Amino acid sequence: MAVNWVDIVVMYDLFKGFWLKSLAIGFWFIAIGYYFLLFAYIFFYRFLLKESKLNYWLIFSFFFLFLGIGRVANIIYDFYVPNPFYDQLGVGINWFSMACLAAIAGIMLIDNDKVSNLVATIIAIPPVIIGFIYPFIPAESLAAGSLLYILFNGIVLPAYGILVMALFIYLALQIPGDIRKKSILNTIGFIILFIGRGIYSKGARAILGLPVDLISIIASSLVVLSLIIFAFSTR
């Protein structure tokens, strides 16, 4: 019986696509698990079970919660239901996580509690507004390269990310001891997290030109690595 090489090649391509997609989904579920574990650890152990219930820990815990919920919506879009609403819903929820980072920056920049809470609220308002409206913007208006896409993802998002990383770098340089070590770990964690999430954005995927599942594996691996670093920084 002659070997049908065409069938073998077809089966190989199907298998290759299957295991790549399976790995991509698996790595993202690992990342989601870490998101929720970090939320639970920080919220219940660092915030609720400590005598000093600092708003910093409360907001930091919700940062990971929003990232986890947003990623669930993104996975639904990427692998199960290709409806742009789910993708935009995930991105909108992720903007709430950016609002948490903005609030953390406001709290840490100013020593006075009343003033810092006011500043944190003010600088968190823009990401919250974007998060609410993002799921309802027409999908074509958010295509890679569009004006809104560049505004939200190329200007506002990097500005907030740079602000937070600069703050942790400042703390690492100014305050010695355990705070310096944790600030360095947080800075490294944020850099890796932003790189991982950045290369999975629509614009980056278009530039890289690699298979989506392969980019997904690389991005999710970087996200998991960043979350492991955050786990050490929050101990």
Residue 27 CB-half CA count within 13 A? 20
**Tokens 């599942």, residue located:** 213
- What pTM value is reported for the model? 0.86
pLDDT digits (tens, 9 = 90+) for 88-97: 999 999 999 9
Share above pLDDT 70 across residues of the chain, in percent, rounded to a whole number: 88
Total count of domains within the chain: 1
**Tokens 């998002």, residue located:** 157
Burial (CB < 10 A; 0-12, 13-18, 19+), residue 143, is: middle
CATH (domain of 218): 1.20.1070.10
Q: How would DSSP label each residue in 10-32?
A: HHHHHHHHHHHHHHHHHHHHHHH
Q: What is the rounded (10 degree) CA torsion for 205, 206, 211, 212?
A: 40
Q: Is the pLDDT of residue 9 over 60?
A: no
pLDDT digits (tens, 9 = 90+) for 38-65: 999 999 888 887 655 568 888 999 999 9
* Residue 185 phi, psi dihedral angles, 5° rounding: -60, -40
Domain ranges, residue 121: 5-233
pLDDT digits (tens, 9 = 90+) for 108-161: 776 666 777 787 888 889 999 999 999 999 988 888 778 888 888 888 888 888
